[in-house]
Structure 1
């Protein structure tokens, strides 16, 4: 098609390629569903890369790597865009599309970049402005702010930085009555491990390794992966590092592969078990790195017992290879799963017998329980991990894990929200994992809580029928206890 366009229109390759791609890009965006829109964005992402190669230039990526400090406004960004975004110059991000639990929003948090998503008519207003404040806590974008407003936010920023420094000096996180809660960090890149430790993380509860793949467009070698995993383990000593195997698929699209419904398709552990060379390379790198620190392996998108059993067989084969090669590794490395599908909750009592730990992925568990695309702003009002059905599944998972003698954590957005923290402590969670910058506030908030108070609230809301009832009741009780909701707000 591109060749025909060049012959007919007598234009250069870059122009022809762009015009052809525009047609497909427009088609996918017109469908207005997250899956199709993501495909359209991915196509355009690839298009920019191809044109950049044709021009032997990086100019097309200058918006993501500017030379001056600025705020980035866009209709949407892909996870790949976020992976290369330069946080030293991009001070904030605002997008017209997406939900607060989309992977782009999560990556912005991980990079410690203030972000607001799902802003209607953002670009219409933004083109008329010369300054903007991105308030990620309150979900606001303020164009051309007054001097008074600027001073308010500068003061708030200073106070937050000061409080963060004070809280991160605390080694342990305990409730008012002395119950210890492990606070870990979610990371995507090696550099974030240093940040996590500085903020007081007691481990890495989720290392999203798929971004090593997405940022390179091809599989990193065993040696490359080993080096990264080893460095993270050494940085976090003596604390643990949970490495999640590649969670490709869904909105983290696999280059060169398309399917009609990726969120219910070839993603997570399904993709890995179907691509054994790919999977074995990663597992072997993780095993080798386990000799240098406390590393655990976590499998994403598990929905059957066989997925865990088959992975354990592969691990045993790789261990035999390493023994034969006299390469050291942790013989007793822990294997756990992400509990993010309803089927894994219902099978949790069986899975707990063949796993060392669970980590609840509340974002996807909510998505699959409520049949609600977490990246679709049109149904964002339906998406809530405070829906009684989701809360009951979380409670069931914790109970089944503890009954079988394994610990359970949670690494979704719920872990960093104050209402979520209260309920999770009340339901008996052992570990909370969140973006590093939220750790100081979470520690401070937990120190104000009493375990019995949290249990009382959790038991009460588990009997409710609607999300609104849950949130309304929790806010009412917090107000009664004199806890200022806005002071600890994460949303």
Structure 2
């Protein structure tokens, strides 16, 4: 006798044709991953055979087939009308008694002593959650369903969702026969995340596809708000190699704007089982998960990925009553897992304009077009092919509409929202979570969407010219001299890790401090001594959640460095300790309390001279603590340290000793310490500097200014600035020779090797080990290196 119910305990991937992809995956995890400690809520699947019985019992096969055959396959102009007729047929049909009885019996067994258990009722198609077609969001799910009649009604609603406009179009686009796609319904014990938090996990970095990252996102309340993009969620980045070594693996976090949370509607006043309410003020400033919970979810996700053998898209929920965390869904990630990156596209604005709004960037492109504000599907006809769609939020019903857009900009949502996922699937850009796009952008306005500058995307007024360069990665030459990157913004690290560079030759710490920390380190060290006033109030607000204000500096700096180190792991990442000038330090919050005024900061209190001076010593200690945390606690030992503007041998020894007092000892745990060669004294005494450091990096800008005796910030003498000047090249030649003699590595950071092929040839001929370029100059620089490494042509005599 046919059975229409299969408990999760009896389901695995072998039952996919009976229970669909989503339920098969849940059963597989329920049975095979729980022994690893991964909690999956119990439940049962109503089989596809039950759906087929439902169609046969109500004589719907022929009627539905005939209706669906009338859809205009080219224009889809009559799709809404046909879909509506199909849904009406299914809505008015009834479940056979035999199916009802089995469903009710299974529900009673699942409820146990709880009586009418609250369950999640989810659609699970037989073509769903495969590595090539996710069907994500095409069919409906229903939360907090309680009671037999409500459950039976929800089952029919799942069947109805098979004939949503979006689901029908998705089948047409992906070549599925409508009547060959059957739907199973999963009934799963409801996790009380309405009293805690829930969200989404990717076991891959969602923008770049970097495989060493687990990306966890979530919000207060039920996870539906995260999936729909109704909130800007909290985000966490976890580094897999550190996770497997049981080290501190959280390398990044971002606080969301959590203003709404979805909870059970206990009163029933909304007419729905769930409703959105304001997040209580005491929760708005808190992270939705503790660090140990983030790591628990990351470990589970890593095990799930290993089990399935592909990157995964996972949904999680925390029960606010029991405090247990559960995995409630898992499916293969379908965007990056099937991509093979053969071409690289770089984008660069040629000028800037008036910025209208900004948010989280999805996709790395620049695009211009006409803005079209859509408030609901009733306005769908407004959107023309090639428009930039502006909306408060999108949902799966908009999928057909979104295919017309070249970009999407929303007020709400994060990187796992519906708009973000669809944008990746369509290969277009999106900016989500702007907060005000529909208010500051005018309908019909020409705008430019810029997603080429890291995690943040910007919307500018007008059609701003930009440059796009396509690079065939298979044609980029391999060189003996290592091409490396000069990097300032950690937000671009995962994107840039796909470039053909062999690590980072210069990571500028001061840019991280200026853009991510914003506060002078001494103002954090001496927070309690600061006078009451606007500056202290600003610092108090910025460092909310940190009882020890110095920890704010250390944790934010450590996570920024770690993101770069993780992106390029195991290739080396050389972090240059802070090299602000006094005028630049003074511009930080609280900086005016600590920085002297200098006539020429370029050659004043900067670099190494600050590190052991009592006026900055505790601030340098925070820098050392951050590097120590990255290397020793996070396990990113590919990080090396570089000391800038070190004038004398005595100063070099003092800096190394100071670092050691802060726990950062050269040679310990493999730590290598480099020094910048940017002062003539570094070259003249190179053999002695080589005894104190593990490597040299030539800073061609400062070396040129100090060799030629000119201030490179001065426009009056800028025409004299020339790295090719013979005096400069003689010093560079001497520095490389000294490094070779001492057996230490030497590189160069600067623009000249990409701008001047002859300069690259000069460096290669001297035996330089590496040359570091800004991202926009990397390919040109590699080509210059390659040409320089070719043997000179033999002339016939």
Question: TM-score, normalising length from structure 2?
Answer: 0.35
Change beyond 3 A, Cα 1:387–1:320: closer
Which residue of 576, 589, 605 corresponds with 1:266?
605
Which residue, 216, 233, 238 being the options, matches 2:570?
238
| Cα deviation digits, residues 253-306 of structure 1 (max 9, x gap) | 533231112122101111222211111111121122122240100000011112
Alignment of 1:430-445 (within 5 A): 430-445=769-784
Please list the CA deviations of residues 406-463 of structure 1 after superposition, one character each: whole Å capped at 9, or x if unmatched.
Answer: 0100012223222321111112111000101221222233333345549x9xxxxxxx
User: Which residue of the other structure, out of 628, 632, 636, is the alignment partner of 1:287?
Assistant: 628
2:677 pairs with 1:333? no
- 3-state secondary structure, aligned to 2:352: strand
Quick one: structure 1 residues 265 and 88, their matched pair in 2 at CA, closer, same or farther if it must change by over 3 Å?
farther
Aligned pairs for 1:336-355 within 5 A: 336-355=674-693
Matched residue, 1:188: 488
Q: CA deviation at 1:396?
A: 0.4
Task: Determine if contact 1:395/1:427 at 8 Å carries over to the other structure.
Answer: yes
Does the 8 Å CA contact 2:753/2:784 hold for their aligned counterparts?
A: no
Report what 2:478 is aligned to: 173
Supply the distance in 2 between the matched residues of 1:440 and 1:206 (Cα, whole angstroms): 17
SS across alignment from 2:639:
strand
Match of 2:762 in 1: 423
2:734 maps to 396
Provide closer, same or farther for how the CA distance between residues 252 and 411 of structure 1 changes in structure 2, counting only shifts above 3 A: farther
What SS does the corresponding residue of 1:449 show, helix, strand or coil?
A: helix
CA distance in 2, matches of 1:311, 1:281: 14
Residue pairs, 1:90-489, within 5 angstroms: 157=467, 161-162=469-470, 164=471, 166-167=472-473, 170=476, 173-174=478-479, 180-215=480-515, 216-219=518-521, 221-249=553-581, 252-255=584-587, 256=592, 257=595, 258-274=597-613, 275-290=616-631, 291-319=635-663, 331-417=669-755, 418-450=757-789, 453=792
Contact kept, 8 Å, 1:303 with 1:343, in 2: the verdict is: yes
Let me know the Cα RMSD of the aligned residues.
3.4
Deviation at 1:358, TM superposition (A): 0.2
What secondary structure is seen at the aligned counterpart in 2 of 1:378? coil
**Offset, 1:169:** 6.9
2-structure distance, mates of 1:254, 1:212: 16
Structure 2: distance between partners of 1:364 and 1:259: 18
Task: Output the CA distance in 2 between the equivalents of 1:434 and 1:217.
Answer: 29
1:224-281 CA-to-partner distances (Å, cap 9, x unmatched) read 1111112211111110000000001177453323111212210111122221111111
Select the structure with the greater relative contact order (CA < 8 A; seq sep ≥ 6): 1
Supply the distance in 2 between the matched residues of 1:451 and 1:310 (Cα, whole angstroms).
43
Secondary structure at 1:210's aligned position in 2? helix
- The 1:90/1:292 distance shift into structure 2, 3 A limit, reads same
1:372, distance to aligned residue in structure 2 (A):
1.4
Contact 1:363 1:385 in 2 (8 A): yes
Distance 1:264 1:182, change over 3 A: same
Which structure is higher in helix share? 1
For residues 624 and 672 of structure 2, the distance between their equivalents in structure 1, rounded to whole angstroms, comes to 13
Verify the 8 A CA contact 2:674 2:694 in the aligned structure 1. Answer: yes
Aligned to 1:463: none
Distance 1:379 1:279, change over 3 A: same
- Cα pair 1:250 1:264 within 8 Å, conserved: no
How far does residue 320 in structure 1 lie from its aligned partner after superposition?
8.2
Q: Distance in 2 between matches of 1:243 and 1:373?
A: 25
Unaligned runs of 5+ in 1: 1-68, 75-83, 92-149, 175-179, 322-328, 457-479, 481-491
Structure 2: runs of 5+ lacking an equivalent: 1-348, 369-463, 522-551
* CA pair 309-206 structure 1, distance change in 2 beyond 3 A: same
The structure that has the greater radius of gyration is: 2
**What is the deviation of 1:399?**
0.5
CA contact (8 A) 1:234 1:293 kept: no
Q: Is the 8 A contact 1:296 1:336 kept in 2?
A: yes
Q: Deviations over 1:310-330 (max 9, x none)?
A: 222223233389xxxxxxx96
Q: Distance in 2 between matches of 1:281 and 1:88?
A: 36
SS in 1 for 2:556: helix
CA–CA distance in structure 2, aligned partners of residues 251 and 371 of structure 1: 21
Q: Is the 8 A contact 1:341 1:364 kept in 2?
A: yes
Contact kept? 1:398, 1:408, Cα under 8 Å: yes
From the superposition, tell whether residues 440 and 217 of structure 1 become closer, same or farther in structure 2 (CA, over 3 Å). same
Change (3 A) 1:402 1:90: farther
Deviation, structure 1 residue 72: 3.3
